[in-house]
Amino acid sequence: AQSVTQPDIHITVSEGASLELRCNYSYGATPYLFWYVQSPGQGLQLLLKYFSGDTLVQGIKGFEAEFKRSQSSFNLRKPSVHWSDAAEYFCAVGADYNQGGKLIFGQGTELSVKP
Binding mask 5-24 for another protein (x = CB under 8 A): --------------------
Residue partners of 109: CB distance under 8 A and separation at least 6: 6, 8, 9, 10, 11, 21, 22, 88, 89, 90
- Is residue 49 a contact residue for another protein (CB under 8 A)? yes
Rounded CA-CA distance 16/113 in Å is 9
Q: How far is the CB of 83 from another protein (least distance, A)?
A: 23
Radius of gyration, alpha carbons of the chain: 14
Report how far apart, in Å, the C-alpha atoms of 54 and of each of 19, 57, 83, 87 are. Answer: 21, 7, 30, 27
Closer residue to another protein in complex, CB, 51/83: 51
- Is residue 60 a contact residue for another protein (CB under 8 A)? no
Closer residue to another protein in complex, CB, 29/115: 29
Closer residue to another protein in complex, CB, 53/115: 53
Applying CB under 8 A, which residues contact another protein?
32, 34, 36, 41-46, 49, 51-52, 90, 94-97, 99-103, 105-108
